[in-house]
Amino acid sequence: MRKLTKREFIKIGAMGVSGVVFMPGFLGGCRTMPKVTVPSWVWYSGGRDEKKIKKDLRFLKRSGFTGIHFQGGLEQVKTASSLAHDLGLEFHVWVISLMARSAKIVKEHHDWYMISREGISIADHPPYVGYYKWLCPNKTEVVDYMVKRVEGLASMDHVDGVHLDYIRYPDVILPVGLWKKYHLVQDREYPQYDYCYCDDCRRKFKEQEGVDPLELPDPPKDKAWRQFRYDSVTRLVNRLKKMTEKYGKKLTAAVFPTPDIARKLVRQDWTCWNLDAVFPMIYHNFYEKDIDWIEVATREGIEALHGRYPLYSGLFVPAIAPDKIQQAVDFAMKGGAKGVCLFNFRGMTEKHWRDFLD
């Protein structure tokens, strides 16, 4: 009889344990723990239950994970980073960057927020959803605020890095897979979704190019105006990189799936950023693509980066059938990724874990 592979052994073994919450410990007959097959990261939202956080972190370490992007309050960050440090799990604090929905910031710093091409503050009339309130990266106060936040985290003893998310403009065009949900057709850049036309942006662009962006014949078509906004985010990221470097820490970012899509939809020119690693959110279903698109999108990023820093393909777990998760990983690796990052820990069902770990 053919000897079973470890994967088959686990799968067969698992059939008899329905109802058991999956943790590798139940595999009593299996001497080695099932582990990840490629360098793996996960986006993890902490919550308040520290016992659970500790249990999850130990599970991730035992499963061979490289690192974790952790979102949580300062106390949770302290506890979790200290444990991750002891375990040897790389720990980055996951930061929601330019999207600032906090009522306190809206109230105290209303003038930090972006202005649309229609002249309306995003703080007053956010597009798509009520919380979509974004800070303008061209304001000194916003840059200082971000630098201070990043410094506060990078200076923490057991934090290995800072992970920037929402480091971009709001979507001038939503991913096509979301149009139906919001009852939209975004075949071009419409003024109510187009940012930022605040006084600072207009002044800075005029100083640079000699024209007010509001006076351009067709702002969406203007190459210099597009480039100005790419550069606004790039400049901020590179400034934050200097801050993390000062503390000997890393800077990574979650970005839109390919360089072209990122520039077009949210003004992210991420292949020009100074980072230690990038985590494109290759959420195929958002773009009405099949799972094999993970390979195509990964390759586009890899080719544009020219080896400047590693790329980990972000996988959207809820859109991947449990028995297809390993296939998604294979597509990412075929595209040239250094590894993968799961969105998110909670989305992983018992069946996903069985397929993912080998």
**Helix, strand, or coil here: 92?**
strand
Listed in sequence order, the residues at least 6 apart from 44 whose beta carbon sits closer than 8 Å to its beta carbon are: 56, 68, 69, 70, 71, 94, 344, 345
CB closer to Zn ion, 161 vs 213: 213
User: CB–CB of 214/116 below 8 Å?
Assistant: no
Q: How far is the CB of 130 from Zn ion (least distance, A)?
A: 21
User: CB–CB of 279/254 below 8 Å?
Assistant: yes
Q: Which residues bind Zn ion (CB under 5 A)?
A: 136, 138, 196, 198, 201
CB closer to Zn ion, 115 vs 162: 115
Calculate Rg over the CA atoms of the chain.
22
CB closer to Zn ion, 98 vs 320: 98
Q: How far is the CB of 112 from Zn ion (least distance, A)?
A: 9
CB closer to Zn ion, 82 vs 227: 227
* Of residues 279, 282, 314, 278, the one with CA closest to residue 297: 282
CB closer to Zn ion, 196 vs 281: 196
CB closer to Zn ion, 196 vs 342: 196
Q: How far is the CB of 291 from Zn ion (least distance, A)?
A: 38
Q: How far is the CB of 136 from Zn ion (least distance, A)?
A: 3
Angstrom CA distances, 267 to 108, 231, 252, 258, stand at 27, 9, 18, 12
User: CB–CB of 355/326 below 8 Å?
Assistant: yes
CB closer to Zn ion, 231 vs 292: 231
Listed in sequence order, the residues at least 6 apart from 218 whose beta carbon sits closer than 8 Å to its beta carbon are: none
Q: How far is the CB of 138 from Zn ion (least distance, A)?
A: 5
Q: How remote is the C-alpha of 226 from its chain's centroid?
A: 22
d(CA 187, CA 178): 13
Q: How far is the CB of 195 from Zn ion (least distance, A)?
A: 7
Q: How far is the CB of 349 from Zn ion (least distance, A)?
A: 42
* Of residues 22, 24, 23, the one with CA closest to residue 34: 24
